[in-house]
Amino acid sequence: MDPEQINEFVVGYLKKKGFSGAAKDLEDYHHQNNGSSLSSIDYHNDPELTKLIRSFSQQEDDPTRYRESYSKLRSWAYNSLDLYKHELLRVMYPVFIHCYMDLVGKGHTQEARAFFNSFRKDHEMVHLRDLQKLEGVLSPSHLEEMEFARSLRKSKVNIKICQYSYDLLLQYLHRTESTLMLGIINEHINFQVYSGQPTSSSDDIEAVTIVGSFQDTANHINQKEIQWGLLEDSLEDRLEKTGGLLSDSEKGQGESKDGDADDSKKRSTEIGKQGSSIKKLKKDKAGNATAKVARLETSTVPPAPRVKPELALPVMSTDVEQSILEDLRNRVQLSSVAMPSVSFYTFINTHNGLNCASISHDGSLVAGGFSDSSIKVWDMAKIGQSGSGALQGENDTNDSIGGPNGRRNYTLLLGHSGPVYSATFSPPGDFVLSSSADTTIRLWSTKLNANLVCYKGHNYPVWDVQFSPFGHYFASCSHDRTARIWSMDQIQPLRIMAGHLSDVDCVQWHPNCNYIATGSSDKTVRLWDVQTGECVRIFIGHRSMVLSLAMSPDGRYMASGDEDGTIMMWDLSTARCITPLMGHNSCVWSLCYSGEGSLLASGSADCTVKLWDVTSSTKSTKAEEKNGNSNRLRSLRTFPTKSTPVHALRFSRRNLLFAAGALSKPAS
Amino acid sequence: MVTKESIEVIAQSIGLSTLSPDVSAALAPDVEYRVREVMQEAIKCMRHARRTTLMAHDVDSALHFRNLEPTSGSKSMRFKRAPENRELYFFDDKDVELKNVIEAPLPNAPPDASITSHWLTIDGIQPSIPQNSPLQAVSDLKRSEYKDDVLAARQVLSKELQNYFDKVTEWALTQSGSSLFRQALSSLEIDPGLHPLVPFFTSFIAEEIVKNMDNYPVLLALMRLAKSLLHNPQVHIEPYLNQLMPSIITCLIAKRLGRRLSDNHWDLRNFTASTLASTCKRFGHVYHNLLPRVTRSLLHTFLDPTKSLPQHYGAIQGMVALGLNMVRFLVLPNLGPYLLLLLPEMVPEKQKEEAKRHGAWLVYGALMVAAGRCLYERLKTSETLLSPPTSSVWKINGKLTNARQSKRKASSDNLTHQPPLKKIAGGGIIPMSSTQMQVNGTTTIPQQSLIGRGIALRTSAPLDTTVDNYLFPLFEYFGESMLMFTPKHELSFFL
């Protein structure tokens, strides 16, 4: 390299950095000392150094450079070896969004837009939502203002990448001297290099969600211990105690099915109670290979140790308890071969006004929350008695209701001043809670047909409210990014759960009442300890807003459904996704486990109710680890409705499935 | 999405005439960002209202969250696309006379929300009730019909079947274009329990065809009905074929089908021909006299010069559909004399009536296609004998050459160029031993124009000589258009 050239670079660099005076001095100096070489360092022959120096003097904020280097990197990644391609392509997305944000941040709006549009297609499939958000960011101030962008800028993305892919990438970046890309990658990506073969592209869900350093906190939080066991002295237990006696007395009615169920339950609890039985199993394993398989099945699902309630739970009246016990005794055993019956409640003439529907635990009451702030409660038992008029079809019911008398067959609850987004029945069905866009939650009595309490606390619309499995307590979640725990007798919330990065869209209680789960627009599901108000689990994996949650009756698993129609089964203790259940092609509005937890029902905007066999999916996880991903056959049945999106689902205690939805005219 | 220009337009619309370009440039991206922000909230509202379509009040409530004034009057406004400009939308804002609004009678109050219940499934099976989706209901219907199959032995029509028959026949006669009828046809094609209805359907078709000879839509519907019935693998239609075939053949070669000129009876004939062919193919082996009988009646029509052109057309199409052998043995031998009759019909001077001339052209086209396909098949079968290098070698001189190894020299009239041919062929070509590509001499002369006009091509295997005699003059009859039917590979011979 000539000394003149070097001088040029130095001057260029100085000018760029704004040291125009120094640059001028330097130039003058060189003019004076023309000809005399002052280089003592041998950087003439060091190509690396030359390149480095050259890169300094280049126009750094030249917007076209982003486009060029990105497209080079992109074409390189696409042409790389198939085995490593998906790992390298994973790097492209963070690079892409950061290039875009750099361009925006430097004020090159037009270039940023052009850059975004030309490469947007690559990432649309996985990151559509994020792209839609980012697309609107057009000025540096937006970057500051928008939380999503800010968090992206602040945090580093973790990318798991195998050693070889990592080397490939570094080699490429050095070879092509794409310092710009190297800078972005260094600044925003945190590589977790592992040795060995690259993982297959499909099963690695974590790889595609950009949560930045958030992942670390999530991992940290997920270390915490949780106790997902059922409560001591639960009704199920009581059933087992009394079940033997009663089933003896009722043998005449031929309830062999239930008897069997009790037996199996007893067996499983016995295994759990006797700590020694596990040891026994281990001995058996050594001795008896054939029995191992059968044993494994039971031992993979050991009932968790019973836990004490952390909340003071209400006392249940003996009448109620008796009726529940009666229901549990008469419960139909469901499995992949024994399908439930589904009773469908269709709302008609709602004129797109039905926001939510809720079904009481025994299926006799149905509440609908409407966008005109009203709540309507139908007593299905009464409708059934008043003749089958309701079943005759739309016209007949229209006549009977819309007559001049204005006689209604429902109870109208008025009080809210905004669209009602959620309603929930207390377990005995004597109270209804409703949440609304007017930021309040209201408690209604179905006996008195009147508003009892108005709970104010949220600052923004309350998206969801859920009674706890034992009543008295309830949880709500809101656009203000918090979830709150309340008890019926206090108008202030007992706990406020804050931590979600976006709206909290749905909430669900754990069967033992010690935890609640919340699903959010930030695409995560969190589990919170009710007593401490701390977040104890973060479930990452959804690719869009989480709309529905359900907890398995044994308290071990959770299902969550999102906007895209994906349902994920989570293991609460490990915070890992057991399996995504694919099948719906639109929002999953509702999820519900059957009474004994063997089936999961899902209701979706694609006008279907699907049943999923969740016993096979949980049991086969061990086998899966060995055999690889072999099972996609969990969808048992699909029941299409006649153009009725399914808003709500509820398994009654006897395992009859109730579903509700508003008839919508098919788009024509 | 929001451009500087739109900001300027908006500014003008609210009375700001002087807006510096900096302002609009700065505002545009910000406006866009705010709009997106509001839309994001609106989408949340939509999701929580359990909808998948965004509505005006979702946007209103999103604005409300942001403590913004909701826009008014945005309810159920529909943008219309400007007819000329695809990018331009506008409100269809009609002027309404206030008096009319006031005097108009009050509309009925919308019906109140209500709820109905039904069984979506019972123990995992969806009952076939009107409340459930029709797809499932159909399969349930099938199930019920399947049960009725047992009753078929006693030849008792169940009420359902009777109903089915009544409905299908009614649709066939009245609304053959409807989707209902189309569904009925597909059900006829696959439903297993229809056997008891077959005699009724066949007699229905026979009767109605006679009655409706001048009603084209009904005829077409009946033919589709017949086809669906014939295709149903579960139905034993054999005993009723002798009733059904005459009806089908009638539809193929009847003198008049349909009353109006616009009725496209040619299509009907084509359709019927394919039905006929598939029937013969399926039941030909069961009734060995089926095919001869059909062909006899077709040939009879074809050879009768007193029959009208549409009838001839039907007959030709029928024979074509029945297979190329039929064409080779029955049509081609009679092609020459027939064309003598046909050609005058095609020229405007001789045949003044345009409809008839059109008909003649269609017949001509059908014949041409038939002959061409025969030719094509023949050449295909001999294809293996023409080894690939041949074509390239022929082009060495850029001249037209032709291979010939004539065992039967009688048919060839010049042999003069045989020695040079062999020279050209040189090393690699022509394992053409038993089959002879014999091309009439004209093309083989060098410097001939590229496409020989009067090429008469002849492929022959010893056995088929008689038949191939009829292939021989095809080029005379149809001229160059026959070249379309020569497979590409063989065509290279002529180039």
Mutate to test the interface with A, among B31, B61, B114 (most CBs of A within 10 A): B114
Which CATH number describes the domain made up of A61-194? 1.25.40.500
Q: Which of residues 106-165 of A touch B (CB under 8 A)?
A: 109, 132-133, 135-139, 142
Residues B131, A503: C-beta atoms closer than 8 Å: no
Q: Is the pLDDT of residue A489 over 60?
A: yes
CB contact under 8 A, A401 and B136: no
Task: Tell me which chain A residues have a C-beta less than 8 angstroms from the C-beta of B125.
Answer: 339
Q: Hey, which residues 157-216 in chain A have their CB within 8 Å of chain B?
A: none
- In A, minimum Cα distance to B40 occurs at A133
| More confident: B273 or A269 | B273
CB contact under 8 A, A344 and B57: no
Q: How far apart are CA A544 and CA A523, in angstroms?
A: 5
List chain B residues with CB under 8 Å of A641: 120, 132-133
Domains and CATH numbers, chain B: 4-101 (1.10.20.10), 156-322 (1.25.40.770)
- pLDDT, residue A242, reads 59
- How many angstroms separate the CA atoms of B431 and B450, rounded? 26
A354, B113: Cβ pair inside 8 Å? yes
How confident is the model over B367-421, as pLDDT tens digits? 888 777 777 777 766 654 444 444 444 443 434 334 343 333 333 344 334 444 4
Report the pLDDT value the prediction gives residue A304, as an integer from 0 to 100.
62
Q: Taking the model in full, what pTM does it have? A: 0.58
Place of tokens 């269709």: A346
CATH number of A341-383+408-617+633-662: 2.130.10.10
Q: Return the C-alpha torsion angle A243, A244, A248, A249, nearest 10.
A: -40
Question: Are A344 and B110 inside 8 Å of each other by CB?
Answer: no
pLDDT exceeds 80 at position A363: yes
- State whether residue B3 sits within 8 Å of chain A by CB: no
Burial profile B450-487: b = 16 or more Cβ within 10 angstroms, e = fewer: eebeebbbbbbeeeeeebbebbbbbbebbeeebbebbe
Q: Quote the longest CA-to-CA distance of chain A.
A: 117
**Per-residue model confidence as pLDDT tens digits over A568-581:** 999 888 888 888 88
CB contact under 8 A, B112 and A642: no
* Average pLDDT over every residue of A199-226: 60
Report the pLDDT value the prediction gives residue A473, as an integer from 0 to 100. Answer: 93
Stretch(es) of chain A classified as CATH 2.130.10.10: 341-383+408-617+633-662
- The neighbour count for residue B173, using CB atoms within 10 Å, is 17
Contact A558, A572 (CB under 8 A): yes
Question: For residue B471, which of B388, B348, B382, B342 has the smallest C-alpha distance?
Answer: B382
Is the ipTM reported for this complex over the cut 0.95? no
Using an 8 Å CB-CB cutoff, list chain B residues near A391. Answer: 116-118
Contact list in B for residue A398 (CB cut-off 8 A) is 111, 114
Residue B73 has pLDDT above 50, yes or no: yes
What span, in angstroms and rounded, lies between the C-alpha atoms of B3 and B5?
5
Q: Is B14 on the interface with A (CB under 8 A)?
A: no
Q: How far is CA B395 from CA A330, B450, B493, B494, in A?
A: 90, 12, 9, 10
Query: What separation, in Å, do the N-terminal and C-terminal C-alpha atoms of chain A show?
Result: 72
Beta bridge partners of A591: A602
Contact B57 A371 (CB under 8 A): yes
Q: What residues of chain B lie within 8 A of the CB of A352, using their CB?
A: 51, 55
Mean pLDDT (chain B) is 70
Q: Do the Cβ atoms of A348 and B113 come within 8 Å?
A: yes
Q: Determine the 3-state secondary structure of B122 from DSSP.
A: strand
User: In 3-state terms, what secondary structure has residue B85?
Assistant: coil
Ranges in chain A annotated CATH 1.25.40.500: 61-194
A550: left (phi over 0), alpha (psi -120 to 50) or beta: beta
Among A452-461, A582-591, B344-353, where is mean pLDDT lowest? B344-353
CB atoms within 10 A of CB B362: 18
> For all residues of chain A together, what is the average pLDDT?
76
CB pairs under 8 A between A and B: 177
B48 and A132 within 8 Å at the Cβ level: the answer is no
* Closest-CA distance of chain B to residue A356, Å: 7
Q: In what order do the strands lie in the sheet with A535-540?
A: A504-509, A515-520, A524-529, A535-540
Closest CA to A355 of B93, B441, B54, B49: B49
Chain A, residues 246-305, CB within 8 A of chain B, namely none
Mutate to test the interface with B, among A135, A341, A460, A643 (most CBs of B within 10 A): A341
A65 in B contact zone (CB under 8 Å): no
Residue-wise pLDDT for A32-73, tens only, equals 665 444 444 444 555 566 666 555 555 555 778 888 888 888
The alpha carbon dihedral of A145, A147, A152, A156 has a sign of positive
- Which range has the worst mean pLDDT, A305-319, A348-362, B163-177, B452-466? B452-466
pLDDT band at A432; cut points 50, 70, 90: very high
Structure tokens at A589: 């509005």
B131 shares contact with chain A (CB less than 8 Å):
yes
Detail the DSSP E strand segments found in A126-220: 157-162, 189-194
Q: Give the rounded percent of residues in chain B with a pLDDT score beyond 90.
A: 1
Q: Which residue of chain A has the CA closest to B2?
A: A136
Q: Of the candidates B33, B44, B130, which has its C-beta nearest A137's C-beta?
A: B33
Give the residue from chain A lying closest to B54, CA to CA: A352
- Residue B124 near chain A (CB below 8 Å): yes
> From CA B455, how far away is CA B453, in angstroms rounded?
6
Res B412: pLDDT: 39
Q: Identify whether the C-beta of residue A650 lies closer than 8 Å to the C-beta of residue A362.
A: no
Residue A385's H or E segment, with its range, is helix A380-385
